[in-house]
Structure 1
Amino acid sequence: MMPSYFFAHGAPSIVLEDNEYTKLLKQFKDNNPRPKAIVIFSAHWEENVQTVSAAKTYETIYDFGGFQDELYQMTYPAQSDRVLVDQIQNLFSKYGVDNVRNETRGLDHGAWAVLKLLYPDADIPVIALSVNRYLSNEQQYEIGKALEELREQDVLIIGSGGTVHNLRKLNWQSEAVDGWAEQFDNWIQSKLEAWDTAALFQYRDLAPHAGEAVPTSEHFIPLLLAMGTGDSARNAQLLHRSYQYGNLSLSCWQFN
């Protein structure tokens, strides 16, 4: 069964960087089986109803400002897969998840920056999925669980977001890691490895410094979505964790 993953996408400039985290992403295609298709939940696509992308060829959305000019020249012209779109919508409906499709939206940087590092040739079909911050954490997990069987069909499922993601707390010059960010991530790690969903669903009340680490939930949600796709085996493995700008968490979790 194809593992599923959570990748932190950091700042948009991550696609231009050379560090241990980007090396892991760049080497991913050489160290793992090639997927038939990729399904990716992006923190930067928020909708009140679960939305499934179905554009024939994706435009590249530059949903950021003030970064290197080179970023605005990058494209990721992946194509969708209408058969897989239908299957995903059917699975959502089967699990009681209201859903619609969008045939015009391109890929935001939460999707294309990660995919550009993983599969730079954009030659694998991609289905982007929205997130909804107004659902409960239990509902987020169930949405991921609805797609679990796709992993048996060599479909790679990715949640793209960030566990510690507070732009107001960033120190762009800092090389030291803020203790509160590590404490939050350590708590999350312990609960993921124990598959303690009861605690994770209440992370805002139980985790240290949750308010600082997750001021708004859209970047954390993809972790729960990816976790839900591993419900049968319930095995979580941390492949990487580092920080930029004092507290911006760059982590990779594998679920299988």
Structure 2
Amino acid sequence: MLSTASLKMAGLKDTFFISHGSPTLSIDDSLPARHFLKAFQQRVFPEKPNSILVVSAHWETKDPAVNAVHGPSDTIYDFYNFPKLMYQLKYPAPGAPELAIKVKKLLEEAGFERVYEDKKHGLDHGAWVPLMLMYPDADIPVCQLSVQTEMDATYHYNLGRALAPLKKEGVLIVGSGSATHNLRTMQGINDSVASWAAEFDNWLKESLLSGRFEDVNHYEEKAPFAKLAHPRPEHFYPLHVAMGAAGVNPKAELIHDSWTNYTLSYASYKFTEST
């Protein structure tokens, strides 16, 4: 494993998009995605980052907002009618106010004129649910960045491009959303997948693995069943940020693929900077 000092010199080459699916990922051992994330450090990304920037589907703002929290971040329970145990879970990772300042500066330099520091927002479940499995010690400073659902996918890709220099400082950039996200079509069925959901998911995989990133940026016109897979775009835009933050012409790799509830894909991707 690389030391923190060596990470500061060498930087990181990878960014990630994680499909966090249902909040029950935090407690349900029957979910394959839970086991994938628990093995993340051992099997996917052994380097320990200096800090983590999470772009969460569950923080929507009109203009980019970054949380600049001093001390442990609050754990936000932004879900309802789930098992009591889930409301007792904590992920007290240190805040990363210095990283927040760097994020704000990079975005402003790239032409994003209104970028806000939020000094109260903690970690919503799009951040803490996957992170508590990936980095259970909660000892890495975490900063969150919001998504802007009034804007398009290309906007979020460019948001990511502006943040790419952070990798050189050992910052792990993670987009947390879902490859498919239509709550109205979910059913209590785990042994089959709706044909339209599978078709969209396969299109996404083929597009990413073949480097057709512009198609992914224009998924609403290019992808089959795009509006059915994502009636609203907030769970998809974190992928575009992660894709953009990897740099020019990155290589995409599918690192996990599973389904629950008939239409909910947990497909997750690694984006590696071209060398």
- TM tier, smaller: over 0.9
Q: Is the Cα contact below 8 Å between 2:108 and 2:115 reproduced in 1?
A: yes
Q: Is the Cα contact below 8 Å between 2:154 and 2:218 reproduced in 1?
A: no
Structure 1 equivalent of residue 176 of structure 2:
160
Superposed CA deviations along residues 200-248 of structure 1, whole A, max 9, x for unmatched, are 2221122111121011000010011110011235111001111100010
Structure 2 equivalent of residue 4 of structure 1:
15
**Correspondence list, 1:181-192, <5 A:** 181-192=197-208
Q: Is the Cα contact below 8 Å between 1:193 and 1:237 reproduced in 2?
A: yes
Structure 2 equivalent of residue 74 of structure 1:
89
Partner of 2:166, secondary structure, is helix
Q: Is the Cα contact below 8 Å between 1:2 and 1:154 reproduced in 2?
A: no
Q: What is the number of residues matched between the two proteins?
A: 256
Q: Which runs of 5+ in 2 are unaligned?
A: 1-11
Q: Distance in 1 between matches of 2:211 and 2:233?
A: 20
Distance apart, 1:2 and its partner CA: 3.7
Partner of 2:234, secondary structure, is helix
Structure 2 equivalent of residue 240 of structure 1:
256
Structure 2 equivalent of residue 39 of structure 1:
53
Distance apart, 1:174 and its partner CA: 4.2
Q: Is the Cα contact below 8 Å between 2:211 and 2:249 reproduced in 1?
A: no
Superposed CA deviations along residues 153-175 of structure 1, whole A, max 9, x for unmatched, are 11110000012100000002442
Kindly indicate whether residue 135 of structure 2 is the aligned counterpart of residue 119 of structure 1: yes
Distance apart, 1:189 and its partner CA: 1.1
Moved over 6 A (4+): none
Partner of 2:267, secondary structure, is strand
Q: Is the Cα contact below 8 Å between 2:57 and 2:177 reproduced in 1?
A: yes
**Correspondence list, 1:58-97, <5 A:** 58-97=73-112
Q: Is the Cα contact below 8 Å between 1:193 and 1:236 reproduced in 2?
A: yes
Bigger drift between 97-106 and 200-209 goes to 200-209
Q: Distance in 2 between matches of 1:7 and 1:14?
A: 12
Amino acid at match of 1:85: A
Q: Distance in 1 between matches of 2:157 and 2:90?
A: 31
Q: Is the Cα contact below 8 Å between 1:54 and 1:103 reproduced in 2?
A: yes
Q: Is the Cα contact below 8 Å between 1:91 and 1:147 reproduced in 2?
A: yes
Amino acid at match of 2:102: Q
Q: Distance in 2 between matches of 1:11 and 1:220?
A: 15
Partner of 2:48, secondary structure, is coil
Distance apart, 1:21 and its partner CA: 1.8
Q: Distance in 2 between matches of 1:105 and 1:210?
A: 31
Structure 2 equivalent of residue 23 of structure 1:
35
Distance apart, 1:67 and its partner CA: 1.1
Q: Is the Cα contact below 8 Å between 1:4 and 1:226 reproduced in 2?
A: yes
Q: Which runs of 5+ in 1 are unaligned?
A: none
TM-score (norm 1): 0.96
Partner of 1:149, secondary structure, is helix
**Correspondence list, 1:205-220, <5 A:** 205-220=221-236
Q: Distance in 2 between matches of 1:206 and 1:87?
A: 34
Superposed CA deviations along residues 40-97 of structure 1, whole A, max 9, x for unmatched, are 0000000001001011121111111111111000011112122212111111111011
Amino acid at match of 1:54: A
Amino acid at match of 2:36: L
What percent of counterpart residues are identical? Answer: 37
Superposed CA deviations along residues 112-140 of structure 1, whole A, max 9, x for unmatched, are 10111111121100000100011122111
Structure 1 equivalent of residue 192 of structure 2:
176
TM-score (norm 2): 0.90
Partner of 2:203, secondary structure, is helix
